[in-house]
Structure 1
Amino acid sequence: MAPDPTQPFRAMAYNNAWANQRLLTACLALSPEDFVAPRTGFFPSIRATLNHILIVDWFYVDALEGGTLGPAAWADREPCGTPAALLEAQAAVDRRLIAVTEAADLSRIVEVNRFTRIQRDRMDRLLLHLFQHQIHHRGQAHAMLSGTPVKPPQLDEFFPEAEAPLRAGEFAALGWAEETIWR
């Protein structure tokens, strides 16, 4: 059987959702003050950084789905005021991204509404850009979290075999199994 070229993109979408779930679940333990406290990073707080990830996901996932949301995604720079609200909203857009990668035509040209122009790019390039963006800013939020009383969770996809039951439990809570990702 020939390799499936969409498989790496699918695996990245699942890993992205899992990492977001782990990070945002850890953030649920933050005090409201720690969540909004000024911190060093591209954005000035954990809340601002995580909301930025969400907004950019809305922007690109909408385009990947054929939508025209465009710059309207930034109408509210911090649409979610709590970690719980972010967890729910991020999980919803992560499910949409997984669905996009499940049915991906990687060579399809995607139109991205940039307000003053329409950017046209291949789906595979936009997906790679989006995954890079998520990893970049999630890493910043992770570093910010290390400056709070809450221990930052492991976000790498590598886990020792001894932790397989933990991973299986987290995947089950998300409605998946490793076979879903690696089929």
Structure 2
Amino acid sequence: MDALLPYRAMAHNNAWANHRLLSACLALAPEEFTRRRTGFFPSLRATLNHILVIDHFYVDAMEGGRLGPAAWSDPEPCTTPAALQAAQAAVDKRLIALLRGMEAAGLERIVAVHRGERVQHERMDRLLLHLFQHQIHHRGQAHAMLSGSPVAPPQLDEFFAAGEAPLRAGEFAELGWTEETVWGRPG
């Protein structure tokens, strides 16, 4: 088995889930996007921007950058769902490209994560798992917040089910993917 396949699949899953969630948010009135809600962050805008900001922080480190805490100098860089969707798609593409260009041995590479006062050294595989968990955690909160809005939250947990491939085909086309893009050649 390709050791990178699960990580590549998770990167695609994150991009797809972000696309689905942010596409739903496009239907929100501006006041619904910023309305105070129960969650770790006080609104959909704040929660979804947090995902973006932390993605910038970690993807930059994985790419060998030194962005560090400057990543969160503006905790809400995107004020609209459309701007957020474009920015999130760009960082999701960077993560997918990083994993596509990596060899399996790259999972053991030590990544320098610049945290301001110190540099954390972490294995790539562990950092990826942390990033995926972070995204899922906060996307779940945003999903719950969306449940309390006039817009129905999208289904986010069917990405890995093979029987759902026909339902994903249109969204995958929007993202420039096919099932083969995500999973490789069948067989």
Shift of 1:166: 3.0
1:20-53 CA-partner distances (Å, limit 9, x unpaired):
0000000000010110000000000000000000
Once the 2 structures are TM-superposed, how far is the Cα of residue 159 of structure 1 from its aligned partner? 5.2
Equivalence for 1:35: 33
| Structure 1 length-normalised TM | 0.96
Alignment of 1:101-180 (within 5 A): 101-104=99-102, 105-156=106-157, 157-158=159-160, 161=163, 164-180=165-181
Alignment of 1:69-108 (within 5 A): 69-104=67-102, 105-108=106-109
* 1:125-166 deviation line (CA, Å, top 9, x unaligned): 0000000000000000000000001000000125583x5433
* Equivalence for 1:18: 16
Give the secondary-structure state (helix, strand or coil) at the position aligned to 1:106: helix
- Compare 164-173 and 37-46 and name the one that shifted more: 164-173
SS at 1:176 equivalent: coil
Deviations 1:98-118 (A, max 9, x none): 011112310000000000001
Q: Distance in 2 between matches of 1:7 and 1:164?
A: 17
Letter of the 1:53 counterpart? I
Give % identity.
Answer: 73
Q: Any conservation in 1 of the 2:34–2:44 contact (CA below 8 Å)?
A: yes
Q: Structure 2 stretches of 5 or more lacking a match?
A: none
Residue 68 of structure 1: which of 66, 69, 73 is its match?
A: 66
Q: How far, CA to CA, are the matches of 1:159 and 1:148 in structure 2? A: 28
Any idea what SS the aligned residue of 2:2 has?
coil
- Aligned-partner residue type, residue 146 of structure 2: L
Q: 2: distance between equivalents of 1:117 and 1:159?
A: 41
User: Aligned-pair distance for 1:75?
Assistant: 1.0
* RMSD between aligned residues: 1.1
Counterparts of 2:160 and 2:9, CA distance in 1: 13
- How many corresponding residue pairs? 180
- AA partner of residue 154 (structure 2): P
Paired AA for residue 48 in structure 2:
L
